[in-house]
Amino acid sequence: MENISKIVIAQDTGKRIGYVLDVVIDYQDSYKKTGYYVVDEETEGEFFLKNDNILKIGQEYIMIASAGILEFVLTRKDSLIGKHVVGDECQEFGMVTNLVFAKNKLEKLTTNKCEIMAKLIKEIGEDFVFVSSKKKRTKKHVEIFPRMEADIKVTTQENFQVSVPQKITLSAGFYIGKFSTQDIFGYNNERIVAKGEKISRTIFENAKKHNKLNQLFFAVDR
């Protein structure tokens, strides 16, 4: 998912503020992405960073003018990552593993089984996302949602560990001391976490650097 784990830095002080934990989506406005949740690495407090307050986004960093523009978050909605997708006929379309945006609007969900266009989402619940899997008729054309063929495209992922968390946890304390159940590879296809390896602070930081914390979340033992 774009920009997850990138370091947020303040231009006025040159201070490292924290890192991006999750995206903020306005479910009432066409699933528009309004910003990001940022976590303070020392206190693990969470903050809302608006898109309008971002100065620049680089490969590893997001720059803001000042830490003062961040809004403290008392509660937040659970991430879409980890929710299971269910169709009209109670079909199981897998668990959401990634979100794809186009011009700050959610374009599609990627699950461990397929891809689903955002326009087909009917309702988002605490643990499940309900989507339309029936034919929709309009004046100009017939739009079809076939079984895993068109709007839902099958993509397979080997050795995917299925679980349903209430929310994605990206703070170091969740990972350190646990063991990985699969190999995880970095930007240059180098192995950054080995199957069966105990997660240390160094391994956690390296996974974050390679934007692999989401994958690490599903890989660690419960």
Structural domains in the chain plus CATH codes: 7-72 (2.30.30.240), 84-154 (2.30.30), 172-219 (no CATH)
33: pLDDT strictly greater than 60: yes
Query: How many Å apart are CA 106 and CA 32, to the nearest integer?
Result: 6
Q: Which of 207, 117, 95 is nearest to 162 (CA)?
A: 95
Residue 137 has pLDDT above 70, yes or no: no
For range 90-116, the mean pLDDT: 90
At 168, the pLDDT band (50, 70, 90 cuts) reads: low
DSSP code, position 90 = -
pTM (whole model) above 0.85: no
- CA-closest candidate to residue 195, choices 170, 212, 220: 220
**What's the rounded mean pLDDT across residues 146-166?**
43
* Predicted local distance difference test score (pLDDT) of residue 122: 92
pLDDT over 80 (residue 107) = yes
- The single-letter code of the amino acid at 170 is L
Cα atoms found within 13 Å of the Cα of residue 92, Cβ hemisphere only: 5
Helix (H) or strand (E) holding 50: strand 46-50
**Which whole-number Å values give the CA distances from 68 to 11, 17, 35, 47, in the listed order?**
11, 10, 16, 11
In angstroms, rounded to a whole number, what is the distance separating the alpha carbons of residues 178 and 106?
Answer: 33
Average pLDDT, rounded, for the chain: 81
Averaged over 49-58, what is the pLDDT?
95
Mean pLDDT (whole number) for 80-103: 90
What confidence category does residue 169 fall into, taking pLDDT thresholds of 50, 70 and 90?
Answer: low
Q: 20 vs 166, which has greater pLDDT?
A: 20
